Structure 1
Amino acid sequence: MNDFDKIAAKNKGKITIQDLNGFTMLGKGADGSVFQLSPEKCVKVYVNEDNQKKELYALQIGQSSSVIPRLYEYGSNYIVMELVNGGNLKAYLKKEKQLPKLIAMKILFMLAELQKVGFTRLDTEVRHIFFNELGEIKVIDHKRAMTTVRSVPTKLFTGLKKLGYLDQFLGHVKELHPSIYEQWKKIKLI
């Protein structure tokens, strides 16, 4: 982490991917690249500074929730946040070949938390839902959390359907929270 601090200070709060040679890249997407800084922290370096601002705002708002990664520091094009050590829901479903009631409960808790902190997008993709080594649920990639309005988890449904687990998830929702199930049914999501 000390090396990263020196890089950030030298570059006046702007980081390039080349600056992070020697750090392990955890992932790369359209918005940027994520590198591990320590066993507890990672840094996301953004291609577009506007996307950094959007995600930073969502992370700041979400700090009261256990499902949002901890925010440590940021610069004009990067954010240092909690490293979620664990796998995502997509990998879990492919490996375990089932969606247990406990996982459905955690997903419903996550959706409630997104609403509680004030996000306008109450949805995420299955690949952005992680379970840490303690089995706690965490959600990453929040750049659209405050700019997209979606009160129902359509992306989550699409991902679960593609993997073959939507019916199993909805069966759990019907049992655990019949009112949510009926709400989704009324708006013809299911």
Structure 2
Amino acid sequence: MSRHFTNPIYLSERVENIIKNSDFLGKGNNGVVYRIDEQTIIKIFNEEKVCKREYEVLRRSRKCTAFPKVYGHGRFYIIRDYVDGVRLDKYLNKNEFNFQLAESIVKLIKDFKKLHYKKLDIRCKDLYVQPDYSIKVIDPKNNFDREMPYPRHLMKGMHKRHRLDKFLSYVKEIDPKLYEFWSENVFVYLEKIENSK
């Protein structure tokens, strides 16, 4: 079985055996993911520092139900919950926003703030919509390192799919002050992008 790794890395015999007995799920910029069983995956990272950073975000976010539970980790791997559902970007390509989904996203960003994240942002492709419209997070990155006071990339992804206005209309109902801050910032950002073309 091919390991699908970008870089040659050392893994223990135990981890190699886990991989051999797991199903390949996919490959990204930072590494590869294998499904161990119905509930768990192992993510193998190309770089130790990226693995350490993601583990730290998951560890510090463990009380937030939107994040997968971690069962083990090493220098180049994390074993955690498998996250099912529909990726938010794909969901928005085919579906309109509803109040419950918007409420889940607002709650998630508020949870980021409670967790003392500096970066209150995430990409659409790193969120998974559940059948009850709750949200699950995969691939948290740089949340404690980079500063971003509002969900800029998230709303940019919504805008790209013509769903931002509907989302913001729900945010206005949920939290008017948050709506003012987010809408003011995101529209300035989107205008800068448009003017730079």
Give structure 1 regions of 4+ aligned residues with deviation exceeding 6 angstroms: none
Give yes or no for the alignment of 1:99 onto 2:100: no
Equivalent pairs counted in the alignment come to 177
Q: Structure 1's 23 and 133: CA in aligned 2 closer, same or farther, altered over 3 A? A: farther
Corresponding residue for 1:7?
A: none
**Structure 1: distance between partners of 2:150 and 2:39:** 32
Corresponding residue for 2:32?
A: 33
SS at the partner of 1:121? Answer: coil
AA at the equivalent of 2:80:
M
Q: CA deviation at 1:21?
A: 3.9
AA at the equivalent of 2:12:
N
Corresponding residue for 2:12?
A: 11
**CA offset digits 1:104-124 (Å, max 9, x no partner):** 001001101111112211110
Find 1:120's aligned residue among 118, 121, 141.
118
Q: CA deviation at 1:146?
A: 1.4
AA at the equivalent of 2:186:
L
Give the conservation status (yes or no) of the 8 Å contact 1:26–1:35: yes
Q: Structure 1's 159 and 185: CA in aligned 2 closer, same or farther, altered over 3 A? A: closer
Between the aligned residues of both structures, percent identity stands at 27
- List aligned pairs for 1:79-158, cutoff 5 A: 79-96=78-95, 98-158=96-156
AA at the equivalent of 2:102:
A
RMSD (Å) for aligned C-alpha atoms: 2.0
SS at the partner of 1:170? Answer: helix
What is the TM-score with the length of structure 1 in the denominator?
Answer: 0.85
Q: Structure 1's 119 and 164: CA in aligned 2 closer, same or farther, altered over 3 A? A: same
Structure 1 segments unaligned to the other structure (5+ residues): 1-9
Give yes or no for the alignment of 1:53 onto 2:48: no
Corresponding residue for 2:174?
A: 176
**CA offset digits 1:12-42 (Å, max 9, x no partner):** 67x56x9724522222110011111111111
**Structure 2: distance between partners of 1:144 and 1:106:** 21
SS at the partner of 1:81? Answer: strand
AA at the equivalent of 1:81:
R
Give the conservation status (yes or no) of the 8 Å contact 1:48–1:77: yes
Q: Structure 1's 40 and 134: CA in aligned 2 closer, same or farther, altered over 3 A? A: farther
Give the conservation status (yes or no) of the 8 Å contact 1:67–1:113: no
Larger RCO: Structure 1 or Structure 2 (Cα < 8 Å, ≥ 6 residues apart)? 1
**Structure 2: distance between partners of 1:127 and 1:52:** 19
AA at the equivalent of 1:89:
L
